[in-house]
Amino acid sequence: MSATGSQLRVDYKPSGEGYIQSASMWRARRRFWLLLAAVVVGGGVFEIFSQFASNSSPSDASVAMASKAAPAVSAPSVPAPASAPMAANAASPPLPPGAVSSKLNVRRGDTLGQLFARNDLSRADLASIMHLGGEVMRLRTIHSGDIIDVVYDAGGHVLGLSMQVDDAHRLQVSQTANGYQAQLVDIPTETSVAFAHGVIENSLFDAAGRAGLSDRVTMQLIHLFGWDIDFHHDIRSGDAFSILYQKIHREGQPVTDGPILAAEFTTGGKTYRIVRFTAPDGDSGYYTPDGRSVRKALLRAPVAFTRISSGFSLHRMNPVLHFIRPHYGVDYAAPMGTPIVAAGDGRIVFRGRKEGFGRCVIINNGGGYTTLYAHMSRFRGGQHVGSRVKQDEVIGYVGESGEATGPHLHFQIMVDGVPRNPRTVKLPSAAPIPAIYRPEFTRDLDVLLAQLSNSSETRIATTASSNTAKVVTAH
């Protein structure tokens, strides 16, 4: 402790005697209380004595304390706020000498200008960066929750910044000898294989949710097995499924689920299996273990329906005419305007109004198969009689034109001109695995089915040892 500091402490002793306080002593007492308050707030004991030792004014002391780099070593460590300068991540490139890195968290209503002002960053640099135009214009529409990484020097001059602009890209701005440069770079994507198993108790979606599956994967599962399984009528309590699927990560964070790689579904005592195969030419598809395509040449339900309002029947009471008349199709109730797709590849042979069918499209799908779609609210534009359409291509929208009591699609399948029940008719399969790709397919099949089997065995062992939930998910 300095002599001056010691004398101040000795001099400041209240007593019952009245003594005359000099102006210098009064200033000393004021400095003492100001610095004592600073000690309480900042935790720096050293500063009080150093300030007394230097006869600086209270305002000088405040500036000096504000300019200190860090609290004393003995002070407790606290995490820095999100917008405070932080050390560069070990995986990041080394920072230039004297530069610091900071993460700016965008709050509701923030603009880039407000962020720069709040963090004492150069407004001139901001103007230069925005003057680049192009991809940099994405910074005009920042949103709450966005994070902007900034590197700057002690004077607040920006050396570089970056921000993720979508799931796959990051905008990077860097300072060069010729000024700022901006580029959009790909975020590296990593994939992992996940396994899920579920036993149905109440519904498929309930079991899938308990197994940790997203709606995306669940709908993919329904679509792939929907060619052989009627998920509206065939599913029972006790049915089970096992799935291998991809999870996609970027910068260590899961962003979405990829395609199903292999799956099996057991219902009614029968097990169905499928695997995904990508041919050397890049085309991917799903096949049964014997190489048959999962996809059929026709869809049984070419619309996302809420329920079957009327089934195929030869003795049905017509709800409009009120007499018995055969119903040669299936009515799929759906909200007005729901897209209707072509059940299979083919050529439009009729498109217009057709008696009680209202707005109607008929497609010749080849091989003796014809499909009819009725009661549309409107047709899709750009198509006409003679147009070629592909399976899953939109051809119109759900309505209630013609003899209809509510919005729905009336769908018919004719085989050689004879109406067949779309829910039960045997559908032609798409092309199987080409013979030239059989060796690659067999190799991939063995690997995927082995993974599926091993994951299932692990699940069974885990369930047996824990004796807990019916649904176990392993990732």
Residue 430 DSSP SS3? coil
Among 48-62, 347-361, 384-398, 438-452, the least confident range: 48-62
Cα–Cα dist 9/429, whole Å: 97
For residue range 204-236, list pLDDT tens digits in order: 999 999 999 998 899 899 889 988 887 877 889
- Same structural domain, 411 and 441: no
Answer yes or no: is 76 within a domain.
no
From 186, 205, 235, the end of a domain falls on 186
- Same structural domain, 409 and 316: yes
Residue 169 DSSP SS3? strand
Q: What is the CATH number of the domain that holds 162?
A: 3.10.450.350
From 135, 156, 186, the end of a domain falls on 186
Pick the closest to residue 194 from 268, 155, 245 (CA basis). Answer: 245
- Same structural domain, 331 and 346: yes
Among 44-53, 99-108, 359-368, 380-389, the least confident range: 44-53
CB 395 within 8 A of CB 350: no
- Same structural domain, 104 and 162: yes
Answer yes or no: is 73 within a domain.
no
Domain count, the chain: 4
For residue range 276-325, list pLDDT tens digits in order: 999 888 888 999 999 999 988 898 889 988 788 888 776 555 555 555 66
Confidence at 421, pLDDT banded by 50, 70, 90:
very high
Structure-model confidence comparison of residues 349 and 9, the more confident one: 349
Question: To which residue do tokens 């063995």 refer?
Answer: 446
Q: What pLDDT does residue 325 have?
A: 67
Please calculate the CA angle 218-219-223 and round it to the nearest 5 degrees: 120
What is the mean pLDDT of the segment spanning 237-252? Answer: 89
| Residue 58, pLDDT above cutoff 70 | no
Enumerate the H helices of 131-167 as residue ranges: none
Pick the closest to residue 274 from 220, 224, 239 (CA basis). Answer: 224
- Same structural domain, 319 and 414: yes
Q: What pLDDT does residue 287 have?
A: 95
CB 448 within 8 A of CB 244: yes
Q: What number of helices (H) and strands (E) belong to the chain?
A: 9, 24
For residue range 159-170, list pLDDT tens digits in order: 999 998 887 788
CB 408 within 8 A of CB 400: yes
| Residue 33, pLDDT above cutoff 90 | no
CB 262 within 8 A of CB 276: yes
- Same structural domain, 167 and 194: no
- Same structural domain, 291 and 436: yes
Enumerate the H helices of 12-111 as residue ranges: 23-42, 45-53, 58-66
Overall residue count recorded for the chain in this entry: 475
| Residue 45, pLDDT above cutoff 70 | no
- Same structural domain, 285 and 313: no
| Residue 387, pLDDT above cutoff 70 | yes
- Same structural domain, 314 and 386: yes
| Residue 66, pLDDT above cutoff 80 | no
Answer yes or no: is 90 within a domain.
no
| Residue 6, pLDDT above cutoff 50 | no
Q: What pLDDT does residue 376 have?
A: 97
What is the mean pLDDT of the segment spanning 376-405? Answer: 95
Task: Please enumerate in sequence order all residues whose Cβ is within 8 A of that of 70, keeping only pairs 6 or more positions apart, or say none.
Answer: none
Q: What pLDDT does residue 302 have?
A: 92
- Same structural domain, 312 and 411: yes
Q: What pLDDT does residue 93 have?
A: 60
Answer yes or no: is 311 within a domain.
yes
- Same structural domain, 36 and 139: no
Q: What is the CATH number of the domain that holds 338?
A: 2.70.70.10
Question: To which residue do tokens 């929208």 refer?
Answer: 397
For residue range 333-364, list pLDDT tens digits in order: 999 999 999 999 999 999 999 989 999 999 99
What is the separation, in whole angstroms, between the first and last Cα of the chain?
63
Answer yes or no: is 394 within a domain.
yes
Answer yes or no: is 441 within a domain.
yes
Please calculate the CA angle 222-342-226 and round it to the nearest 5 degrees: 15
Please calculate the CA angle 425-230-396 and round it to the nearest 5 degrees: 75
Provide Rg for the chain, Cα atoms. Answer: 36
| Residue 374, pLDDT above cutoff 80 | yes
Cα–Cα dist 92/175, whole Å: 17
Answer yes or no: is 425 within a domain.
no
- Same structural domain, 281 and 350: no
Which range of 24-28, 249-253, 402-406 scores highest in mean pLDDT? It is 402-406
Q: What pLDDT does residue 177 have?
A: 87
Q: What pLDDT does residue 348 have?
A: 98
Q: What pLDDT does residue 474 have?
A: 35
Rounded to an integer, what is the distance from CA 43 to the centroid of its chain?
45
Residue 116 DSSP SS3? helix
From 186, 206, 229, the end of a domain falls on 186
Cα–Cα dist 376/358, whole Å: 7
Cα–Cα dist 48/68, whole Å: 13
Answer yes or no: is 250 within a domain.
yes
For residue range 147-204, list pLDDT tens digits in order: 999 999 988 999 999 998 887 788 999 988 889 999 888 888 888 899 999 999 988 9
Q: DSSP string spanning 355-417?
A: GGG-EEEEEEEETTEEEEEEEEEEEPTT--TT-EE-TT-EEEEEB--SS-SSSEEEEEEEETT
Percent of the chain with pLDDT over 90: 41
- Helix, strand, coil % over all residues of the chain, rounded to 5: 25, 35, 40
Domain of residue 216: give its range.
190-295+432-475
Task: Give the mean pLDDT of the chain.
Answer: 78
Task: Please enumerate in sequence order all residues whose Cβ is within 8 A of that of 11, keeping only pairs 6 or more positions apart, or say none.
Answer: 25, 28
CB 411 within 8 A of CB 332: yes
What is the mean pLDDT of the segment spanning 438-466? Answer: 76
Q: Which helix (H) or strand (E) holds 120?
A: none
The structure tokens listed for 312 are 């195929």
